[in-house]
Chains A and B, each alone.
Chain A
Amino acid sequence: MKNKDLLVAALQNGSVIDHIPTDKLFTIARLLELEKFVEPVTIGNNLESSKMGKKGLIKVSGKFFTDQELSRLAVVCPNMQLTVIRDYEVVEKREIALPARLVNVVKCANPVCITNNEPMKTIFEVDKLKGLVQCHYCGKTQKIGKINLL
């Protein structure tokens, strides 16, 4: 725990994504396109966690994620934690929750859906209880764990 505190505290400005399941760390790293970042990025995996046993963590300097970017992460992996740091202070700490509606995040699995054939945004309604997303246009549902992102 001491190590983690140090890592977080060492950021002047930026974001920390915490509580990443260890098997999802590299998926999340890929989704964030970390390879394009020029400022310092720290990636940790198999770190000790009192809640999860082991976990992953990503720390990026000078980056503040948009809701759109965070929605993509939440689809792949719910319940991760975001910490936003400005001038060494934690200004925000929250769970990265799946929104009720996903705009331009998910690709519809239905090949004859209009969204797969027209340059347009996709919209999906999220049913957290059933673990499904439903295409606003064609009505087809997909299980959250099996979604393809745009």
Chain B
Amino acid sequence: MENRSIVSIADYSREKIQYLLDMAAEFERKPNRTILQGKVVATLFFEPSTRTRLSFETAANRLGARVIGFADPKITSGTKGETLKDTIKMVSNYADVIVMRHKLEGAALYASEVTNVPIINAGDGSNLHPSQTMLDLYSIYKTQGTLENLNIYMVGDLKYGRTVHSLLMSMRPYNPTFHFIAPKELEMPEEYKEYCKEKGIKYIEQQDFTEDTIADADILYMTRVQKERFSDLMEYERVKDAYILRADMLGKCRDNMKILHPLPRVNEIEYDVDDSKHAYYFQQAQNGLYAREALICDVLGITLDEIKNEK
């Protein structure tokens, strides 16, 4: 049987991404269905992530599936020394699809190699998080009407932020122009800049984050600047307030500009931004539900036509 697991979407074609976006849109039109009735979805969270787990479990429930799993690794046999392989093999006997989150990088790919049950990677360490990327793409597509030729500004922690890395790679087919706005210590890693050069993706690096520097953005993708990421705490103190978005910085921005954030936020977006028409991060999280409904159906081999024609 072909393994339909989704470990990464970084190398997905334009057609495949469009297909998943169309599927997500279909679920947004009608989120509650019975197309997964009789199916069991396992959510194995070897690392806790309440937000992602609730989103996946809601997606499964709204499509009529039943959900099994664990939310906390402390209650699993892993603590007794069971290997990941054994846990996956065991759960494969029960579930039709396994959604898994793990703190170790490459865990989801390895899991997909030891079972025929499709795996959905719900985050493996700081490596990949394809369902977040899918909901980011869907949010961009929905708010801009296209993924083509956009100015995407990424702000904050571009070094450790896996969501910005995944998004960067997934935008490859769409001729984006990236602006990387980050403190020196958290700038976009060399390997991703190299990736941009290899793929002919335009990017500009800057450290200033002001009303003027974001005026041409179509998408402002904010991330957290976390204290623990800094080796030099003096440097942290110097830059910690430099990457905070305030409502008074939105005066010159484009009408279509939307602010995205993978959430949770701490202080990098002031609360006065929430009421702006540009704020989109809460709807973005809601889009995650539709994106995850689409991913679960796709790994189970359920097509867009079948979803549309469901009675």
Contact = CB atoms under 8 A, between A and B. Distances in A.
B105 interface: yes
A137 B105 contact: yes
B186 interface: no
A141 B125 CA distance: 17
B103 interface: yes
B113 to A, nearest CB: 9
Interface in B96-116: 102-107, 109-110
A136 interface: yes
A117 interface: yes
Contacts of B107: 114
Given A114-B104, A119-B83, 10 more contacts: A112-B105, A112-B125, A113-B106, A114-B84, A114-B105, A114-B109, A118-B83, A118-B110, A139-B106, A139-B127
Nearest to B10: A139
A12 interface: no
Interface in A99-118: 110, 112-115, 117-118
B83 A114 contact: no
A139 B83 contact: no
A106 to B, nearest CB: 14
Interface in B110-152: 110, 124-127
A138 interface: yes
Contacts of B104: 112-114, 117-118
B106 A115 contact: yes
A1 interface: no
Interface in A64-117: 110, 112-115, 117
B110 A120 contact: yes
A115 B124 CA distance: 13
A120 B127 CA distance: 19
A112 B103 contact: yes
B85 interface: yes
Q: Which of A113, A119, A135, A138 has the most CB of B within 10 A?
A: A138
Interface residues of A, number: 16
Interface of B: 83-85, 102-107, 109-110, 124-127, 191
- Please provide the 5 A-B residue pairs with the shortest distance between their CB atoms, ordered closest to farther: A137-B106, A138-B105, A138-B106, A114-B106, A114-B104
Q: Which of A112, A115, A140 has the most CB of B within 10 A?
A: A112
Contacts, number: 45
Contacts of A136: 106, 109
B127 A138 contact: yes
A128 to B, nearest CB: 17
Contacts of B127: 138-139
Nearest to B108: A114
Contact of A118 (B85, B103, B124, B191): B85
A64 B156 CA distance: 56
Interface in A108-150: 110, 112-115, 117-120, 135-141
A19 B224 CA distance: 54
Contacts of A110: 105
Contacts of A139: 105-106, 127
A109 B151 CA distance: 36
Contacts of A137: 105-106, 109-110
A148 B109 CA distance: 23
Q: Which of B105, B106, B124 has the most CB of A within 10 A?
A: B106
B133 to A, nearest CB: 15
A135 B83 contact: no
Nearest to B191: A141
Contacts of A119: 83
A115 B83 CA distance: 12
B125 to A, nearest CB: 5
Nearest to B128: A139
Contacts of A138: 105-106, 125, 127
21 contacts: A110-B105, A112-B103, A112-B126, A113-B105, A113-B106, A114-B84, A114-B102, A114-B106, A114-B107, A114-B110, A114-B124, A118-B83, A118-B110, A119-B83, A120-B110, A135-B106, A136-B109, A138-B125, A139-B106, A139-B127, A140-B105
